[in-house]
């Protein structure tokens, strides 16, 4: 099964070369302002892609899913939206969650420690792919300033659950693959810190 991973397209999806595959996973930040109008354009883009299954979680810029959740789910007809939810595709269990530590008063922010820990506790054991917007601490989470901004409780949760793949975005500078302790971590951010396209989609053969 070929799984295509992207994140943080920030409205530039039409300029992105998306490889074919069985599943497309977008780990959040489809737009910049998080409006319903941006979401409609993103949904049209998804509708033009050939992937039989498309999965999306919100990022901190996808405000409409926090402010207008019912309308946003209705608009997103060409992908399955996961918010603390699981889906099984071709025998592969995939779980998605949009939360992250506080960042510039944007969407889906929660305080570190207990509030975020409660969200990670919802992730079921036995999943194959975990999709979050935030990175775990220490993996694909370092900014150009050298600061590690991922969540340590998420790191602990992933070690306990042991998915085959953990895909995320949010920290554009952290793009890349990281094989740590038998788990493949992928920061799939396709844009750089200035929100310009800079990185290709990542293909995972699951």
pLDDT digits (tens, 9 = 90+) for 142-176: 998 888 999 999 999 999 999 999 999 999 999 99
Q: Measuring CA to CA, how many Å separate 21 from each of 72, 154, 186, 204?
A: 25, 28, 17, 9
Residue 65's CATH number:
3.60.21.10
Q: Is 103 helix (H, G, I), strand (E, B) or coil?
A: coil
Q: What is the pLDDT of residues 114-134, one digit of tens each?
A: 999 999 999 999 999 999 999
Mean pLDDT of 10-34: 97
Q: What's the rounded Cα separation, in Å, for the pair 180 and 17?
A: 28
* Domain range enclosing 90: 2-205
73-82: pLDDT as tens digits = 999 999 999 9
Global confidence as pTM = 0.98
In order, the DSSP letters of 29-77 are ---SS--HHHHHHHHHHHHTS--SEEEE---TT-THHHHSHHHHHHH--
Give the total number of structural domains in the chain. 1
Give the tokens for residue 106. 């944007």
């Amino acid at each position: 099964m070929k799984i295509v991973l992207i994140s943080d397209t920030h409205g530039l999806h039409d300029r992105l070369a998306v490889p074919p595959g069985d599943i497309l996973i977008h780990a959040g930040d489809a737009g910049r302002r998080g409006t319903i109008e941006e979401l409609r354009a993103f949904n049209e883009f998804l509708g033009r892609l050939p992937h039989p299954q498309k999965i999306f979680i919100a990022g901190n810029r996808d405000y409409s899913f926090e402010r207008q959740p019912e309308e946003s789910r209705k608009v997103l007809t060409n992908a399955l939206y996961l918010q603390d939810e699981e889906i099984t595709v071709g025998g592969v269990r995939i779980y998605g969650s949009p939360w992250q530590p506080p960042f510039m008063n944007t969407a889906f922010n929660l305080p570190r420690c207990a509030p975020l820990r409660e969200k990670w506790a919802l992730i079921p054991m036995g999943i194959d792919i975990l999709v979050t917007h935030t990175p775990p601490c220490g993996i694909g989470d370092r900014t150009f300033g050298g600061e590690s901004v991922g969540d340590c409780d998420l790191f602990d949760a992933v070690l306990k659950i042991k998915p085959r793949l953990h895909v995320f975005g949010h920290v554009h500078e952290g793009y890349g693959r990281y094989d740590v302790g038998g788990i493949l971590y992928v920061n799939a951010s396709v844009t750089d810190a200035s929100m310009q396209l800079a990185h290709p989609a990542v293909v995972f053969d699951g």
